[in-house]
Copies of this chain bind each other. A is one copy, B any other.
Amino acid sequence: MAGHDSTIYRSSTTAPVNIAVIKYWGKRDETLNLPTNSSLSVTLSQADLRAHTTASCSDSYPHAQGDTLTLNGTPQDIRASKRTLACLSDLRILRRALEDANPSLPRLSAFPLRIVSENNFPTAAGLASSAAGFAALVRAVADLYELPQSPSELSRIARQGSGSACRSLMGGYVAWRAGSKGDGSDSIAEQVAPAGHWPEMRALILVVSAAKKDVPSTKGMQSTFTTSTLFPTRAKSIVPERMAAMETAIRNWDFKSFAEITMRDSNNFHATCLDTWPPIFYINDVSRAAINLVHEVNRIAGKAICAYTFDAGPNAVIYYLEKDSMQVLGTFRQILKPETEGWGGVEPVRDLMDGLMATSTGSMEKLAAGVNRVILTGVGEGPEKVKNHLVSETGEILIGSGN
Q: Is A216 an interface residue (CB 8 A)?
A: no
B277 touching A288, Cβ below 8 Å: no
Which residue from chain B places its CB closest to the CB of A280 in the assembled complex? B267
Hey, which chain B residues are within 8 Å of A388, CB to CB?
A: none
Stretch at the interface among A9-17, A148-156, A229-237: A229-237
Tell me the smallest distance from the CB of A86 to a CB of chain B, in Å: 33
Please tell me which one of the listed residues B230, B264, B278 contacts residue A234 in the complex, with CB atoms under 8 A apart.
Answer: B230
The reply to whether A271 and B278 contact each other, CB–CB distance below 8 Å, is: no
**Whole-angstrom distance between the alpha carbons of A238 and B233 in the complex?**
12
Which of chain A's residues 95-123 have a Cβ closer than 8 Å to chain B? none
Q: Which residues of B contact A274 (CB under 8 A)?
A: 267, 270-271, 274
Q: Which residue of B lies closest to A231 (CB)?
A: B230
Number of interface residues of A (CB under 8 A): 27
Q: Which of A268, A270, A291 has the most CB of B within 10 A?
A: A268
What is the copy number of this chain in the assembly?
A: 2
Residue of A211, A233, A264, A271 most packed against chain B (CB within 10 A): A271
Which residues of B sit under 8 angstroms from A278, Cβ to Cβ?
295
> Given A211-B362, A274-B274, are A230 and B268 also a contact pair (CB < 8 Å)?
yes
CA distance A288 to B285 in the complex (A): 10
**Complex interface: chain B residues within 8 A of A267 (CB):** 274-275, 277, 279
Judged by a CB distance under 8 angstroms, whether A331 is at the interface is no
Q: Is A272 an interface residue (CB 8 A)?
A: yes
Taking a contact as CB atoms under 8 Å apart, the answer to whether A271 and B230 are in contact is: yes
Chain B residues positioned under 8 Å from A211 (CB to CB): 362
A212 within 8 A of B: yes
Q: Does A343 contact B (CB under 8 A)?
A: no
**Residues of chain B within 8 A of A260, CB atoms compared:** 277
* B271–A362 CB distance below 8 A: no
- A61 interface contact, C-beta 8 A: no
A392 CB–B CB distance under 8 Å: no
Q: Which residues of B contact A268 (CB under 8 A)?
A: 229-230, 275
Given A238-B229, A271-B272, A274-B271, the answer on whether A284 and B279 have CB atoms closer than 8 Å is no
Chain A 205-228: CB-based contact to B (< 8 A → 1; otherwise 0)? 000000110000000000000000
The residue of chain B having its C-beta at the shortest distance from the C-beta of A366 within the complex is B211
A295 CB contacts on chain B under 8 angstroms: 278
Cβ contacts under 8 Å, A275 to chain B = 264, 267-268, 271
Q: Which 8 A-B pairs have the closest CB atoms?
A: A271-B271, A271-B275, A285-B285, A271-B274, A233-B233, A230-B230, A211-B362, A229-B238
23 contacts between A and B (CB under 8 A): A212-B362, A212-B363, A229-B233, A229-B264, A230-B230, A230-B233, A230-B234, A230-B271, A230-B272, A233-B233, A260-B277, A267-B274, A267-B275, A267-B277, A267-B279, A271-B271, A271-B272, A271-B274, A271-B275, A274-B274, A278-B295, A279-B291, A285-B285
